[in-house]
Amino acid sequence: GENVEQHPSTLSVQEGDSAVIKCTYSDSASNYFPWYKQELGKGPQLIIDIRSNVGEKKDQRIAVTLNKTAKHFSLHITETQPEDSAVYFCALSSDRGSTLGRLYFGRGTQLTVWP
Amino acid sequence: ETGVTQTPRHLVMGMTNKKSLKCEQHLGHNAMYWYKQSAKKPLELMFVYSLEERVENNSVPSRFSPECPNSSHLFLHLHTLQPEDSALYLCASSQGQTTNEKLFFGSGTQLSVL
């Protein structure tokens, strides 16, 4: 299956600072890139997604950028708050030979926002 | 909250036990999934059901047996598990129309096999 590399594995920031998480992939057919947030004791929740025909998408303090040429996409969180503390997962899928609902996930980034 | 409810939240079982995990979705979706989340590993897709038909069995051992009686309910029957099967088992659902669509996850069942 597709290998998704996610960095960093842990990230600590001061409240109000920005946080950036980056994922790289190898399959150029990948065309859907969601980001999930998993809080303690809960399942992953979709926070933002982007498709390959778009280079950037923003939703309030959260943005995702996609560089298809370089095969990487990033999550940007601005003005971080303690409630942003969680594990964040990048994921991707493609249409080519893909199974319904098959997402390839990164290993996750533990984000801690200190007050 | 997400519209996908899993029970039980926690389960401890011995290797000779038989137990079942339950998932129910209230989103009107047509596809349901089982994912496995182990420590330090990416989430792994186990099974896919679309309109109550299994469309994917991702090389999962036969000691895991899924069942989808209707589009709202999904079960995972467990028997003679191994300690390495201890993990968080996540159920998810989606509309079931394309390969690139949003998945909605439940909170998972934390399984410990002794």
Q: What does pLDDT average to in each consecutive run of 10 residues of chain A (115 residues)?
A: 90 98 94 95 94 91 96 97 97 78 90 96
What pLDDT does A97 receive?
A: 64
pLDDT in tens, B29-87: 999 999 999 987 889 999 999 887 777 777 899 999 999 999 999 999 999 999 999 99
Closest residue of chain B to A97, computed from CA coordinates:
B99
The residue among A111, A68, A69 whose CA lies nearest residue A92 is: A68
Q: Which of B40, B42, B90 lies closest to A43 in CB terms?
A: B90
What pLDDT does A47 receive?
A: 97
Given an 8 Å threshold on Cβ–Cβ distance, is A101 in contact with B45?
yes
Given an 8 Å threshold on Cβ–Cβ distance, is B105 in contact with A43?
yes
What pLDDT does A106 receive?
A: 95
Is the model's pLDDT at B106 over the cut of 90?
Answer: yes
Q: Does residue A42 sit in helix, strand or coil?
A: coil
The residue among A23, A21, A24 whose CA lies nearest residue A10 is: A21
Cβ contacts of B2 on chain A, cutoff 8 Å? 43, 45
Cβ contacts of A36 on chain B, cutoff 8 Å? 105
